[in-house]
Structure formats: C-alpha cells, structure tokens
C-alpha cells in the first residue's frame, strides 16, 4: 500500500486525493487550495469531485464572498473510515512499536527511515527499519533475535503488503559506519522516526573511548 | 503487494540452479579470507546470490515454479510457502543486504559468517531436494 497516501488503496481515483486533503485539516479550504495540496488533478476536476462529495454529504460547502470553501463533514457516517485510512501510517508506527516492546531479546533502538517517514513512499516502497541489537548475543540468543525480526517482517507484510526491510546492526557496527562517514547517517538523522529505545546519539555516546 | 511473478521450471532447471548455487557458495567461501574495506560486503553479496539460486532450485523441485522478480524479500516469502524454516534462512541472508548496500563498514566478520552459514544451509537443502533426482 501507499503509506504516504493510504486512502488511495480504498479510493485510487481523485476522490482519494481530495479526501486526504480535507481530512488533514478542520479549516475550510477553497477548491483552488485543495487542487494545489492534492497530488494531482486540475482545479476543474477537483471542483467536480468536491461537488460530488457535497452531494453525498461527506463534504460541506460554505460561501465566502465569491469563493466556495469546503471541509470534511466529520459527523458523516463514513468520516471515521476516511480519518482512519488517512492515519494508517501512524497506526503502522503504533503496531511496530507495540510488537518491538514485546520482544524477549530487547531491541536497543528501532527507527523508521527512508521514503515512509520522508513522505514520498509509493505503493511498492519498502518500509525501512533500523534495528540496533545488543552487542553480545549467544548463538541461541541470536537465533531468537532472528526469529523476532522475521516475525515482525511477516506481520508488517500482512498489515501493509509492503516489505519491511530491516537494517540489523550492533552499536559497534554503527560506530564503524560513523567513523567512515557512511552517507546513510544523514538519512537516519534527517528522516529517522524513533519507535522505541535510545536515540542513535545516546547509543554512540555510551561507547567506551578507543585506546 | 505486487502481483506474484512466478516462472515455471523443469527438474533440469532445478539442477542447474542448484549447481550455480553451489558455485556461488564456493566463491563466497574463497572471498571470505579477503580483508579490507568492503570485503565482508562482497562475501554477503555472493552468499545472497547462492541463497537465491538454492531457493530457486528448492521451489522448482517442490512446486514446478520459482519466483521470477528481483525482490529478494519476496523470494524469501515464496520459499517460506514451500518450507517456512528455509524461508527464514533466506530472509536472514536477505536482511544483511541493506548493511552491505548502504556502506562498506557496517557488515562485521560475524555477519559475514552468519551469511555463509545461512547460504550453506540453503545450498545443502537444494542438494538434498534435487541431487540424484531424474531430470529431463
């Protein structure tokens, strides 16, 4: 599914884009503003969609001078469906966090990075997850860790239809990458959304000094 | 969830993929003695190729078809439908790819060994399921 525009899974037409814009604000917007905020559609086609939504009661219209202003009718029977669909990305974060907190081998840090938190993912985008595991795990603990990660990958696929792509590292792996100025650190710093555990900064600060 | 892309295969195809898997694994083992920047990434990369080829052999042998796309995570899900434990082995291997893809220093020697062990398990399963079978 498209986690940036989850409603497109239910409504792939322009209606989905328009409803997404309406669901993101309680303030009334003009047709032109909605056309600008929607990912596609001309002013004319957006206005036509808005008129249809008004006919069905899902959008409300008010006059402001010569302009028509629209907003989602949040008391409509279908409004909860729209609002829940638009919030799917947050629900994914909640479910991932809940699953990660239940792990027998605790995860030191988990954060989403890449296109999903950046807001430019598409229907076929992977969900990129950075996982930091404890430094020294026995072979059997490592097996348990792998089973936990595999379980989460399968859950996330069932929840979304997208691949959960896990970057599974230790703090030492992270420290080597930082020392080598690996470019991926920029994405983790700029787009990373912490799900559970300590920040990367805290983890790296806790490392014993070399020498 | 893209439409599943499967390609049919014969027992001879399964055997060929198993032979290729074994050769990749041999090369991965040889590369494992190399040191320096990116050396562990190379081993992981070749081990993934060994795992994918072994998975193809196992899937063809079990179902007459294999995954035909380039999404290795999807390949692991296809293999898991044949054998969940082997699917987990391939997923473990594929999980090392982002570390190898996004930098030359993230993959440790321990990760390299994990990759080789997972590839070995998959190649052995492919041999078990295809060697000695009649092929046309």
DSSP A73-138: -TTSTTHHHHHHHHTHHHHHHHHHHHHHHT-SS--SEEEEESHHHHT---TT--EEEEEEE-S---
Question: What local confidence, expressed as pLDDT, does residue A70 receive?
Answer: 97
A143 in any annotated domain: yes
Kindly list the residues from chain A whose CB atom is less than 8 angstroms away from the CB atom of residue B103. 177, 180, 182-184
Please check whether residue A204 touches B, CB under 8 A. no
A198 domain-assigned: yes
Task: Find the mean pLDDT for residues A7-15.
Answer: 93
The residue-averaged pLDDT of A177-182 equals 93
Q: Tell me the chain B residues in contact with residue A166 when contact means C-beta distances shorter than 8 Å.
A: 95, 98
Interface contact A162-B98, CB threshold 8 A: no
Q: Same domain, yes or no, for A122 and A96?
A: yes
Is A68 among the domain residues?
A: yes
pLDDT classification of A205: cutoffs 50, 70, 90: confident
Domain tally for chain A?
A: 2
The pLDDT > 70 percentage for chain A reads 98
pLDDT bin (cut points 50, 70, 90) of residue A23 is very high
What is the average pLDDT across A166-193?
94
Mean of the per-residue pLDDT values for chain B?
Answer: 92
A140, A45: one domain: no
pLDDT at A206: 77
Confirm or reject contact between A211 and chain B (CB < 8 A): no
Answer yes or no: is pLDDT of A61 > 60.
yes
Distance from CA of A37 to the nearest CA of B (A): 27
The reply to whether A187 falls in a domain is yes
Distances (CA, A) of A12 to A6, A17, A24, B23, B108: 10, 8, 18, 46, 44
The answer on A31 and A100 residing in a single domain is no
Q: Is A122 found in the same domain as A65?
A: no
Predicted local distance difference test score (pLDDT) of residue B9: 93
Answer whether residue A27 is part of any domain. Answer: yes
Nearest by CB to residue A165, choosing from B1, B98, B106, is: B98
pLDDT at B3 over 50: yes
First and final CA of chain A: distance in angstroms?
49
* CB within 8 Å of B36: residues ≥ 6 apart: none
B79 in Cβ contact with B59 (< 8 Å): yes
Residues A132 and A173 placed together within one structural domain of the fold: yes
Question: What six digits make up the tokens of A148?
Answer: 């936990």
Per-residue model confidence (pLDDT) at position B135: 52
pLDDT by residue (tens digit) across A113-127? Answer: 999 999 999 999 999
Say if CB A91 and CB A128 are below 8 A apart.
Answer: no
Q: Are residues A68 and A103 in the same domain?
A: no
Same domain for A42 and A100, yes or no, is: no
Element (DSSP H or E) covering residue A169: strand A164-170
Provide the pLDDT confidence category of residue A40 given band limits of 50, 70 and 90.
Answer: confident
Q: Could you tell me if A191 and A120 lie in one domain?
A: yes
Q: What is the pLDDT of residue B56?
A: 97
Does CATH place domain B9-130 in 1.20.120.330? yes
Angle at CA of residue B118, ends B57 and A130, nearest 5°: 115
What is this structure's pTM? Answer: 0.89
Residue where one domain finishes, among candidates A32, A54, A84: A84
Residue A66's pLDDT is 87
Beta-carbon count within 10 A of B53 CB: 25
Q: Could you tell me what percent of chain A has a pLDDT over 90?
A: 91
Query: Span A18-41, mean pLDDT?
Result: 94
- Give A180's contacts in chain B (Cβ within 8 Å): 103-105
Domain extent, residue A95, equals 89-205
The CATH number of whichever domain residue A175 belongs to comes to 3.30.460.10
**What's the rounded mean pLDDT across residues B48-65?**
97
Residue B132 has a CB neighbour count (10 Å cut-off) of 7
The pLDDT-based confidence of B136 (bands split at 50, 70, 90) is: very low
User: Is A140 within the bounds of a domain?
Assistant: yes
Residue B37 has what pLDDT?
A: 77
Average confidence (pLDDT) over B118-122: 98
Domain boundary among A27, A49, A84: A84
Q: Which residues of A touch B108 (CB under 8 A)?
A: 170, 172-173, 176
Look at residue A208 in the predicted model and tell me its pLDDT.
Answer: 64
Q: Give B106's pLDDT tier (boundaries 50, 70, 90).
A: very high
* Residues B111 and B96: beta-carbon distance below 8 Å: yes
Q: Interface pTM (ipTM) of the complex? A: 0.85
Q: Are A75 and A99 within one domain?
A: no
Domain locations in chain B as residue ranges:
9-130
Chain B: give the shortest CA distance to residue A52, in Å. 31
- The percent of residues in chain B predicted with pLDDT above 70, rounded, is 94
Strands A109-113 and A193-197: antiparallel
3-state secondary structure of A165: strand
CATH code of the domain containing A34: 1.10.10.10
Average pLDDT, chain A: 94
Using the predicted structure, report yes or no on whether residue A84 has a pLDDT greater than 60.
yes
User: Do A95 and A71 belong to one domain?
Assistant: no
Residue A211 within a domain = no
Q: A126 and A25, same structural domain?
A: no
Statement to judge: residues A63 and A105 lie in one domain: no
Q: Is the pLDDT of residue B28 over 50?
A: yes
Task: Please answer yes or no on whether A169 and B91 come within 8 Å at the CB atom.
Answer: no
Give residue B5's pLDDT: 86
């Amino acid at each position: 599914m498209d986690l940036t525009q989850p409603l497109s899974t239910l409504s792939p037409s322009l209606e989905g884009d328009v409803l997404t814009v309406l669901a993101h604000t309680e303030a009334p917007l003009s047709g032109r503003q909605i056309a600008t905020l929607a990912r596609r559609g001309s002013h004319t086609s957006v206005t036509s969609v808005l008129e249809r939504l008004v006919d069905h009661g899902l959008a409300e219209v008010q006059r402001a001078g010569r302009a028509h202003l629209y907003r989602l009718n949040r008391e409509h029977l279908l409004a909860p469906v729209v609002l829940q669909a638009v919030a799917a990305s947050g629900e994914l974060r909640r479910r991932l966090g809940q699953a990660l907190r239940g792990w027998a081998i605790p995860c030191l840090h988990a954060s989403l990075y890449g296109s999903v938190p950046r807001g430019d993912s598409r229907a076929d985008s992977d969900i990129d997850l950075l996982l930091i595991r404890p430094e020294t795990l026995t072979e059997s603990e490592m097996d348990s860790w792998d089973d936990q990660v595999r379980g989460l990958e399968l859950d996330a696929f069932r929840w979304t239809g997208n691949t959960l792509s896990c970057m599974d590292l230790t703090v030492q792996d992270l420290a080597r990458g930082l020392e080598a100025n690996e470019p991926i650190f920029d994405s983790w710093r700029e787009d990373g959304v912490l799900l559970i555990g300590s920040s990367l900064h805290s983890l790296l600060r806790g490392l014993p000094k070399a020498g | 969830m893209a439409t599943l892309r499967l390609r049919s295969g014969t027992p001879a195809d399964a055997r060929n993929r198993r032979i290729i898997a074994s050769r990749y694994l041999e090369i991965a083992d040889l590369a494992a003695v190399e040191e320096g920047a990116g050396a562990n990434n190379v081993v992981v990369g070749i081990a993934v190729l060994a795992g994918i080829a072994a998975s193809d052999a196992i899937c063809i042998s079990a179902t007459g078809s294999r995954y035909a796309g380039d999404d290795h995570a999807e390949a692991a899900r296809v293999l898991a439908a044949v054998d969940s434990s082997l699917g987990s082995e391939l997923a473990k291997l594929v999980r090392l790819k982002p570390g190898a893809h996004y930098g030359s220093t993230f993959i440790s020697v321990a990760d390299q060994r994990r990759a080789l062990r997972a590839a070995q398990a998959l190649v052995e399963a492919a041999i078990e399921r295809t060697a000695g079978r009649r092929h046309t």
